[in-house]
Structure 1
Amino acid sequence: MSTTTQNSEKTRPTDNLMDGTGLARRLVQQTTEAAADLLRRTGTAPCLATVLVGEDPASVTYVRMKQNRCAGAGIRSRHVALPASVSTAELVDAVAVLSADPDVHGILLQHPVGPHIDERAAFEAIAPEKDVDGVTMHSFAAMGFGLPGFVSCTPGGIMRLLDAYDVDLAGKHAVVVGRSAILGKPVGMLLLGQDATVTYCHSRTSDLPALVREADVVVAAVGRPRLIAGTDVKPGAVVVDAGYNPGNVGDVDFETARERASLITPVPGGVGPMTIAVLLEQTVTAATRQLGLPVGG
């Protein structure tokens, strides 16, 4: 799926903050209009199914928030709650049922699912055309090869932000701190697809500050509060903080980094709102395709 942002989404900053909240609001409004148009043309509202294993408070809150956002955008929700004791086979079966249901257009498996479960097997039970969270190997391959498909939502949101603020990635050195399958790795693929030169860093990277100091674009996605010192940010660099830690703290030391960065995302209000906005947009896109209509038509 293209990460090119429509002209109406272009943002002109008054300072160096990248306003994910405002951009997400505009994207959700466009998605709401698309969902209403689909309902008018077909009689069918897009449907997102959420699957939750156990009762982790944070996961319960995230799922409830996504359901509320769906309702506000004209997207139906279906929720499948499974006990923490569920087996991999039982979870895979539950996801497979949703994949085969024509009334369900998108599937989101809330993670983590528990250490006793093969999470990858559960993800792979999601039909590619319903993988609106971009978590399957099919979706990752599509991101890597620049083919049509669904992007991982947080990386997709990051790319939309960069595009909205006219960040030219061609030839730039992007340093991605984090290598998770749903954030670090895919955002690197998307950056590479925009002709950036990408360096992946992680917990075993030697002399991380030295690599950060060379970066034109820094994407922090490791989940360690203030891991990246602002004094290590190259003057004029673009800083995208995709970390979220207790106390509304990101992976970057925001106050010092802001003094050096040309653009920077706040935490909260930067990457977070874009994640759910992309999820909603991709759900409507999935429904449109499954109902046999051209996207944007």
Structure 2
Amino acid sequence: MRVVGFVGPSGTGKSHRAVWVARERGIDFIIDDGLLIRGAQIIAGTSAKKEKTKISSIKRALFTDDEHANDVKTAIRQYNPEGILILGTSDGMVEAIAKRLEFPEISEKVYIQQVATDFEIKQALTTRKEQGKHVIPVPTFEIKKDFSGYFLDPLQIFRRKGKGSFQLIGEKSVVRPTFSYLGNYTISDYTIYQIVDYVASNIEGVNKISRFRVENHPEGIYIEMDLVLVYGCRIKSLLREVQKKVIDEVEKLTALNIKSLNLTAKSLVLDPQKVLDARRSDWAT
């Protein structure tokens, strides 16, 4: 197995360029921040971006945990790649990762200055420092399930084909981990309820939420709620509409993954306006 190291200080754009560097060398497998990646898929490992502190993030990236390291080593034996690219912030880091995962000696090292201009590196450092953005070289759908509660954005990469013509060649994900900020953040259950209540109450046919329950888990949240609907609505299609709009809005505003949203049509009420119109019609006759 041919092992190549890709070296550059933190925040200089290594993950952004990793796929290109690997392709240029005919390599399909990448080790980046605790993950083993093949193409657009995470094969094994746990992302260092999920750690709560910088120290624990570094330990995760170095595979200091035996279970974590063994998980990746097992996957490597299974896939038996011809080559692998290791990302690290220094020569020592890529060498330590290679040793920890029992790889052969590193045959080549690529440095960020060889594949990015000084301006691009400076721009990447500014983005990391001011916005706390980190890139993971896989599509957002691949990691979304593991990053509930993290601010997450897709980053599409295009190649110019001609004048005014571009081809989509890949997608990466931008995350803002907890350790990028001064302290942790928490989204309370009541905040989630307020979002859900606002969305649901603005859907025609919904009178109110009569019961609301949310459970937080590392992989996402589980919501149960009972609704009071307006008599005359199409109950099944209305519940589907509520479910879709609530999921879209909560995930957009909080970055939390909704693992399930169970709705129950608990009761019906008459539309007061329709009752009044009916009475006026009776009075007129």
Q: TM over 0.5, yes or no?
A: no
Larger CA Rg, structure 1 vs 2 = 2
TM-score for both structures, normalised by structure 2: 0.28
Higher relative contact order, structure no. (Cα contacts within 8 Å, ≥ 6 residues apart)? 1
Higher strand share: 2
When the two structures are superposed, what TM-score results if normalisation uses the length of structure 1?
Answer: 0.27
